[in-house]
Amino acid sequence: MAYTDRNEAYDLSLFDEDVTASSALPQRKEHQVHKKQIKQKKNRINKVVTLPEEELQKIRRRKHNPLKLMIGGLGGGLVAVVIGIIIVGQVQITELNQQIITAQNTLADSQSIYTQNNMKVESKLSTSEIEKYAEDVLGMTKATNTRKEFVTLSGGDKAEVSSPGSENIFTQFIDSIKNLWS
């Protein structure tokens, strides 16, 4: 019910310029306020200030401040140098990464060759290979009990203590101190 009085969204007379007070639709205060605002906007829009051609040309001609131009040029140059440094740094990083990858590949290949050579050496140094070489090339055979010779000593074990020829008093003193601590 409150919505039946509010048809302003569908009221096309709000957009007409020639709406008068004798219109068939009922006029309310809000509607009149809205019309006044529209008229005020139209009055503002029609108030255009014109300038003489000479003043327009002066405004269009822009005076450049040499200090601002120099600061802008230096700023642009600085930005270009910084971007150049960043690009050179990235190129160097890429080259170093390529060198690292190449070195890693070389290391992996070297480790593979080392492992292969180690396996070859271990296979040639196995005990069965050594025995086979000794028997075939050198003509050696395994030792048996018949070839073993036992050696016996006729005398007993002897121990001799050797003493230095002449000792002075200082060395005897140091030796006596050493004997106390041991």
What is the pLDDT, as a whole number, of residue 54?
81
> Bigger pLDDT: 41 or 175?
175
State which amino acid sits at residue 123. Answer: S
What is the pLDDT, as a whole number, of residue 22?
46
Enumerate the domain spans of the chain. 1-48, 64-138
Burial (0-12, 13-18, 19+ Cβ within 10 Å), 13: middle
Q: Taking the CA of residue 115 as centre, how many other CA atoms within 13 Å lie in the half-sphere pointing to its CB? A: 6
Return the H-helix or E-strand segment holding 129.
Answer: helix 127-136
DSSP letters, 54-88, are: HHHHHHHSPPPPHHHHHHHHHHHHHHHHHHHHHHH
48: left (phi over 0), alpha (psi -120 to 50) or beta: beta
> Bigger pLDDT: 154 or 104?
104
State which amino acid sits at residue 117. Answer: N
pLDDT beyond 90 at 76:
yes
pLDDT digits (tens, 9 = 90+) for 131-169: 888 888 888 887 777 767 777 766 666 666 666 666 778
pLDDT digits (tens, 9 = 90+) for 106-140: 999 999 999 999 998 887 777 888 888 888 888 88
pLDDT digits (tens, 9 = 90+) for 3-61: 555 556 666 665 665 444 444 444 556 667 667 777 766 665 555 667 788 887 777 77
> Is the torsion defined by CA of 40, 44, 45, 46 positive or negative?
positive
The residue length of the chain stands at: 182
Query: What band does 70 get if pLDDT is binned at 50, 70 and 90?
Result: very high
Q: How far apart are CA 108 and CA 100, in angstroms?
A: 12
Q: How far apart are CA 37 and CA 31, in angstroms?
A: 10
What is the pLDDT, as a whole number, of residue 175?
83
Q: How far apart are CA 149 and CA 144, in angstroms?
A: 11
